[in-house]
A and B are shown apart, each in its own frame.
Chain A
Amino acid sequence: MTDAAQLSRREMIAATAAALVTPLLPGGAASTPVAVGVPGKFLTAAEFGMLDALTELIMPADEHSPGARAAAVAAFIDGRLAESLEPDWQAKWRSGLQTVDGLSRELNAKPFLEATSDQRVAVLTRMAAGEQDPKTAPERFFGELKGWTVRAYYTSKIGIHLDQEYKGNVYQRGEFAGYDAK
């Protein structure tokens, strides 16, 4: 069983090797390629593109591990929104994304998806400013956005195996790791 788990991990690493070798973001060009994963189940293509970009800004690829885009975080959130039976929750996301766009127009004089990388970071920085005590609509949406992004990321293959290098959920033999209580 240990072997099976490790095998699947190796396979998974091979599958994501492309993502690892492709240099991504920090300070990169404006026109980041949009959307890995399934676009628009609940969200429109434009909304999905925004969400995909936002999640990658929160949880970016770096030299250690791929980011939210490779982990298909936006597709997971969109899928949950699509099947939800709670219209209030769906509306919260739709209006939340509109608010982000509104903030971008205010700060950058252009929609979020047309903004440069630095301009997008400026929008998210403004949203995150009230993280401890959110007051404005964009600040309140930041908590929802970040919460779902990190949940989806750290429960994904990439989050668990490549970023966290989680070693458990395997059949261990003999004495388990640790220090003797004596």
Chain B
Amino acid sequence: MTLVKVAPPLDQDIDLSRTYDAVIVGSGAAGGMAAHVLTTHGLQVLMLEAGKKLPIEQELRSMQWPYDHPRRGEAPPGSHHLSFNEYTIRKPPYAKGAAFKHVYSYVGGWTGSDYVKNILVDEKDHPYTGTNYAWVRARCLGGKTNIWGRLALRLSDYDFKAKSHDGYGEDWPISYADVEPYYDKVDLYLGISGVKENLPHLPDSQFQRPSKLNFGEVKLRESLKKGGQVLTPYRAGVTTDGLKHNKYRSKCYGRGACERRGGCDIHAVFDSPTGLIYPAMDTGRLTVRPNSIAYEILVDKNTGRARGVAFLDSTTRKSYEAKAKVVVVGASTLESARLLLLSRSPQHPNGLGNSSGHVGHNFCEHVMGPGVTGLIKELVGKPHTLDDGRPGGFYIPRFRNLKDRQPGFIRGYGYEGNSGHTMFPAHVMDTPGFGGAFKRSVRDHAGAFISMGAFGEVLARYESYVDLDPDTKDKWGIPVLRFHYQFSDNERKMAEDMVATGREMLEAAGIELVGTDEKVLTEGWSIHELGTARMGNDPKTSVLNQFQQSHDVRNLFVVDGSSHVSASCQNPTWTIMALAWRSCEHLADEFRKGNL
């Protein structure tokens, strides 16, 4: 067996005296895709990343056994991960007054915090204010794609045309037919694993080999099938067959490290650096500058158009300007909104591209937390099997408000779930007692559980927004975001249905219900924030057109999740990349014609 181990391309010298064709802010799913598409079309591109370029394999150490780590995976003393209670009871900025040397978001948990401590931002350096929000940020090359959850789903016209379906909010300025070819391109370029199900509300991808379902999952799938519902193997943004065109990524070997650590050091899981950025660097047309914190998009005084990006070097704190003919923003939904709002000028007094007043608004995401756990009695006491080598367990697509109309809420949710053996028998925490009988019970019940948790659409509302805090600044003196964002009754009613329906599903399958989670997790927990610079046909009520191009500034594009008009209930990464591909193709075309 040969594993792909190709070193990243060498760093190039940065020449800030030249004017690049395009400067990209951010190196995650959106920025990486922009770099791929623009360099493919011959543009000379500079990418600015606020964080470090990490030796990521050394960070992730995907196969390290817990006992080979001095703290079984935990970060050294002095580090602290925020808990649900802290997020809920206290107010941001959460690290204010903390006695710890470093404070991180909840991601990492107790088995993995040492592996993400350099990937996540230190909350002490990156405060924010306002309403409660669990804001997870990864400042490093590739951003959150280094540790993402891998579920790679398409949206359908139930999402793009949601207003036409139920009257709420706005339709997107595009339909599924516009995006479908780009979903296909993303599938084939990056690799995705799954099973075709022919669902109108969850279109199929160009799948590579799927992972298999295990006993409990098949049992639930068969039961759901009787009611016309679907349980499908996790659609993972993972190459299971390998990619001949990418020398930086291996195929998946079912090591299971993604479930334990959330990162893949052989890059079978898509991440932006090996999937998009390194190949783009190999064209000779992409230069990457890490440690570069963009704080303003610069505007030409005469034309009002973007002329480049002002940034600080995060280590020297020196200020620089990167000049470009086109500015592409992909800094993440909230950081992109922040950058636009920071870019005030006489021509753009409310922030760049914000004549509509909609930048920062219509902020939406997914609500999560509610779920159920069941015991599959047939598996108690059976020999232990290898179940957690898969990139994921299963997904139950949305079923609410497609044909029916729920009385309590609009839109829908899907369940992500898992069953089988894991390295750490998590049920030990819920097994009472001690001693020989306790130890035997933990052993006998290991692998006999099935759990699932729902992700639901949070409605986009103008009243849900972020703006700049007038007083608070980050470590580099840049004004921070202030949140005005809370779940509403629609999300709470939906959350009740998530628990009740999950219970019915397990019981109908003859699986004993042993636990329910009714708690809705803090806003932000899903790490699926969207919508702060939405697309639309009307410049008065939207920030971007259908090609993620600013209505106000035609050489400014915002290609990340901020452009989404509604959250849908499907995980957004694959849609972010399909849209960025489509928009950057349009950008390159317009650039060639001299229209930008």
Chain A: residues with CB nearer than 8 A to chain B?
A: 1, 26, 57-60, 62, 64, 67, 76, 79-80, 83-86, 121, 124, 128, 131-132, 146-147, 150-152, 154-157, 160, 163-173, 175-181
Report which of B66, B195, B387, B435 forms a contact with A181, defined as CB distance below 8 A: B195
Residues of A within 8 A of B209 (CB): 175
List 10 A-B pairs, minimum CB-CB distance, nearest first.
Answer: A178-B212, A155-B66, A172-B254, A167-B386, A58-B434, A176-B254, A171-B253, A155-B72, A85-B77, A168-B256
Shortest beta-carbon distance from A65 to chain B in Å: 8
Chain B: residues with CB nearer than 8 A to chain A?
A: 1, 63, 65-67, 70-73, 76-78, 101, 110-111, 195, 209-215, 217-218, 221, 232-233, 253-257, 383-390, 421, 423-425, 428-429, 432-436, 438-440, 442-443, 446
The residue of chain B having its C-beta at the shortest distance from the C-beta of A155 within the complex is B66
Is the beta-carbon distance between B385 and A167 smaller than 8 angstroms?
yes
A179 to B446: give the CA distance in the assembly, Å. 19
The residue of chain B having its C-beta at the shortest distance from the C-beta of A178 within the complex is B212
Contact of A179 with B72 at beta-carbon distance under 8 Å, contacts A164-B446, A168-B256 already known: no
Report which of A79, A146, A172, A181 forms a contact with B253, defined as CB distance below 8 A: A172
Report which of A80, A121, A156, A177 forms a contact with B435, defined as CB distance below 8 A: A121
Is the beta-carbon distance between B424 and A155 smaller than 8 angstroms?
yes
Is the beta-carbon distance between B110 and A151 smaller than 8 angstroms?
yes
Residues of A within 8 A of B233 (CB): 181
Residues of A within 8 A of B446 (CB): 164
A124 to B438: give the CA distance in the assembly, Å. 13
Main secondary structure of the interface of B (DSSP, over half): loop
Is the beta-carbon distance between B72 and A168 smaller than 8 angstroms?
no
Is the beta-carbon distance between B254 and A155 smaller than 8 angstroms?
no
Residues of A within 8 A of B67 (CB): 155-157, 160
Main secondary structure of the interface of A (DSSP, over half): loop
Residues of B within 8 A of A62 (CB): 436, 439-440
A132 to B430: give the CA distance in the assembly, Å. 10
A178 to B394: give the CA distance in the assembly, Å. 12
Shortest beta-carbon distance from B487 to chain A in Å: 30
Residues of A within 8 A of B428 (CB): 150, 154
Contact of A169 with B65 at beta-carbon distance under 8 Å, contacts A57-B435, A151-B110 already known: yes
Residues of B within 8 A of A175 (CB): 209, 212
Residues of A within 8 A of B110 (CB): 151
The residue of chain A having its C-beta at the shortest distance from the C-beta of B257 within the complex is A169
Is the beta-carbon distance between A164 and B443 smaller than 8 angstroms?
yes
The residue of chain A having its C-beta at the shortest distance from the C-beta of B443 within the complex is A163
A40 to B439: give the CA distance in the assembly, Å. 27
Is the beta-carbon distance between B213 and A169 smaller than 8 angstroms?
no
The residue of chain B having its C-beta at the shortest distance from the C-beta of A180 within the complex is B212
Is the beta-carbon distance between A181 and B434 smaller than 8 angstroms?
no
Report which of A67, A128, A152, A177 forms a contact with B386, defined as CB distance below 8 A: A177
Shortest beta-carbon distance from B35 to chain A in Å: 31
Residues of A within 8 A of B65 (CB): 157, 160, 169
Shortest beta-carbon distance from A140 to chain B in Å: 15
The residue of chain B having its C-beta at the shortest distance from the C-beta of A80 within the complex is B71
A168 to B422: give the CA distance in the assembly, Å. 8
Shortest beta-carbon distance from B463 to chain A in Å: 41
A173 to B439: give the CA distance in the assembly, Å. 33
The residue of chain A having its C-beta at the shortest distance from the C-beta of B431 within the complex is A150
Residues of A within 8 A of B421 (CB): 164, 166-168
A160 to B221: give the CA distance in the assembly, Å. 30
Is the beta-carbon distance between A132 and B77 smaller than 8 angstroms?
no
A155 to B424: give the CA distance in the assembly, Å. 7
A157 to B440: give the CA distance in the assembly, Å. 18
Residues of B within 8 A of A80 (CB): 71
A84 to B425: give the CA distance in the assembly, Å. 26
Shortest beta-carbon distance from B317 to chain A in Å: 29
